[in-house]
Copies of this chain bind each other. A is one copy, B any other.
Amino acid sequence: MNTRITIGRQFGSSGHEIGKKVAEKLGIPCYDKEIITATAKNSGFCEEMIENHDERPTSSFLYNLVMDTYSFGYNNSTYIDMPISQKVFLAQFNAIKDLADAGPCVIVGRCADYALQDRTDTLNIFIFGNEETKIKTIMNRFPELNEGKARDMMVKKDKQRQSYYNYYSSKKWGRADTYDLCINSSTLGVDGTVDLICQYVNDFENKKC
């Protein structure tokens, strides 16, 4: 087992749960929010600041400038003229590369496919779902939301992820040919999707042998 697996995902498509279960079945670590801690360790940024910029696009250049004015004292000379959001992105980008260097793993979100694009041992997967299923999943996770609010959250989060990905990477979020494999998790359900991905990883490993 030598494959690195990146998972892009629509909000509510159970991409996080699928990533965790795939990693468990393959006996390798899964990094999602854990990337924030890894980035903090590597970069010197505090976790709160990284979380504030995590998979969120900046709304404008002006916002970046303002945030940069208020950034507190991170003055690595390489990064000095860069907006804070880009500094955080680069720190995450490097943390992801280090995690992949350390061994096979599953990495969820955060343009990980872009960070690992030079590796030939990586499979890039995108998980999406039917609107109805995704809204149910979101309402289970946030019981205080009604259907309308859950839909609003879904649309907003996907817009954020798409803007973030398209801004930093050279490909298009959610377009089939950005990835190796794209799966509608509503068709086979979470466990069926996990099984298919594991089968795919095994086929990929056997092909290389």
Contacts and interface: CB of A to CB of B under 8 A. Distances in A.
Interface in A103-127: 123, 126
A93 to B, nearest CB: 23
Interface in A188-209: 188-189, 192, 195-196, 199-200, 203-204, 207
A196 B204 CA distance: 11
Nearest to A128: B177
A118 to B, nearest CB: 15
A187 interface: yes
B174 A174 contact: no
B203 A196 contact: yes
Nearest to A129: B177
Interface stretch (A63-71, A75-83, A178-186): A178-186
A179 B184 contact: yes
6 contacts: A128-B177, A176-B176, A176-B182, A179-B182, A181-B183, A181-B187
A10 interface: yes
A175 interface: yes
Contacts of A10: 177
Contacts of A175: 174-176
A181 B180 contact: no
Nearest to A173: B176
A4 to B, nearest CB: 14
A28 to B, nearest CB: 19
A195 B196 CA distance: 11
A175 B199 CA distance: 23
A197 to B, nearest CB: 10
A10 B177 CA distance: 10
Contacts of A192: 203, 207
Nearest to A126: B176
Contacts of A126: 176, 182
